Chain A
Amino acid sequence: MFHDRLAAALERAGRDGSAVAVLCLDLDRFKPVNDTLGHPVGDTLLRTVAERLRSAVRATDLVARLGGDEFAVLQAGHEQPQGAQALAARLVDLVGRSYLIEGHLVNVGASVGVALAPGDGADPDRLLTCADLALYRAKDEGRGAFRLFEPEMDARMQARRALELDLRKALALRELELFYQPQLDLETGRVCGFEALLRWRHPERGLVPPAEFVPLAEEIGLIVKIGEWVLRTACREVAGWPDGIGVAVNVSPAQFKSPKLVDVVRGALEASGLPPSRLEVEITESVLLQDDAGNLATLHRLRDLGVRVAMDDFGTGYSSLGYLRSFPFDKIKIDRSFVRDLPGSADCLAIVRAIAGLGSRLDIATTAEGVETAEQMRRIRAEGCDQIQGYLVSRPVPPAEIPALIAETLAHAA
């Protein structure tokens, strides 16, 4: 219906040389409304949004719901892009105003993407795609705003899609690898364990940095399968290393959503024969932030297996001390951002001192990340941290280099 009307409008515009605008609008924070107030309220909200949209356009413009919480507006016979810009700004404001619905005060926002014909394309599908890409960018940049389509958005999206296709094949093609970065026990001076770090070696792209593909893997849900592979591989590889050497594996919030996590960990331990005490899962506080009794129960079940649990990146997020009380963590990892400015920054030193003190009182080990100089190590040791990790000890290395690295640090310590 919208598609047909759009096609007809484009044909007319093509004949008389006028412009047509397509606006795609998507509600921000609609899902929480649906989840907390129920679908009937959500449905009434969507109807009210549609009415607000209709109240803001001319009689000759068309408003349609594309599905879910996405709407489209067809604007013809206006001076462009001024007409679409004015309308988009008005829609963002109008839809973002509070609603009173079935006894509830409801607040949502709106993001809008705009595509113009003939400039951005001349057929309905192309225009809707362009408007969607612009919408995607508006949402990406913080929502509650509108964006006009630009060709560069298309290029960026194509690159992302290509990366996604490659990433989906990476597991099957065995392009993923684990590197290991040692953690040094400051008391004994020996390597006591390693953090497993994911690497993707693509035949043409080369070594793709995790920052480039892990967020994408999380977004498309692939992180759960990749996470399974990481757990199995880390356990298998580390099982062959000397007793007492442990491995820390990052587990993402998405993996916690999967009900299989505990089974996956148990399976990885059993298949490899690695004693559970040598496996440590590192979580960020977002795992505890996202809810819920469920994630906390999962942590306890992991602990019941005999696995250790570490809080990663401590100090960067909310760093609620409540999290430290909600679960008996084995380890706190002090974020590298506090270590980077040592010894120069008195603030960072104070933070490191506070976290180390907190750890020792709560009987939780502390590991400082990103330690690069001997002076940083000296300060961190003086503040009472238990372990360090960083380039000072070693950069992350492939598993083949591990035996030599362990032997070398043993010789060092001796």
Chain B
Amino acid sequence: MPGTLLFNRGCFAQVLEGPREAVERTFERIQRDPRHADVNALEFAPVGRRGFPSWSMAFVGRSAPGEALYGGIAGESGFDPALLTAERLFATLRELVLAEEAEAAPVA
């Protein structure tokens, strides 16, 4: 399932995309994992099309654009997921992933 992960200081954010049943199954697997604690679902809703075309992952804190974007989130919320809107998180993760993919792409 495509998705993305943002990591910093032990806090993860993930967008799960896919058929509803698959999202529900994956979410349930995450919830049952004893290594996870305090999992908050910010939003659960149908979308018109995917925001993340392939499985992708972003580790924030490594790339310069990540720093800049993560810095933005941290400044606003102190990275308390409860204070983050799903929309903002989604947009940030998507920008990060696209930026990292562009960086990794071979130069023509």
Contact = CB atoms under 8 A, between A and B. Distances in A.
A94 B32 contact: yes
A159 interface: no
Contacts of A90: 34
B44 A105 contact: yes
| Interface size class, chain B | 10 to 19
A325 interface: no
Contacts of B32: 51-52, 55-56, 94
A103 B20 contact: yes
B39 A101 contact: no
A101 B31 contact: no
A48 interface: yes
Interface in B1-26: 20, 23-24
A100 B44 contact: yes
Question: Which of B37, B40, B44, B46 has its CB near the most chain A CB atoms (within 10 A)?
Answer: B44
Contact of B41 (A93, A94, A100): A100
A101 B41 contact: no
A93 B39 CA distance: 11
Contacts of B23: 100
Given A90-B34, A105-B44, A100 B39 contact: no
A101 B27 CA distance: 10
Given A94-B32, A100-B41, A103-B46, 7 more contacts: A51-B32, A52-B31, A98-B40, A98-B41, A101-B24, A103-B20, A103-B44
Interface of A: 48, 51-52, 55-56, 90, 93-94, 97-105
10 contacts: A48-B28, A90-B34, A98-B40, A98-B41, A102-B24, A103-B20, A103-B44, A104-B44, A105-B43, A105-B44
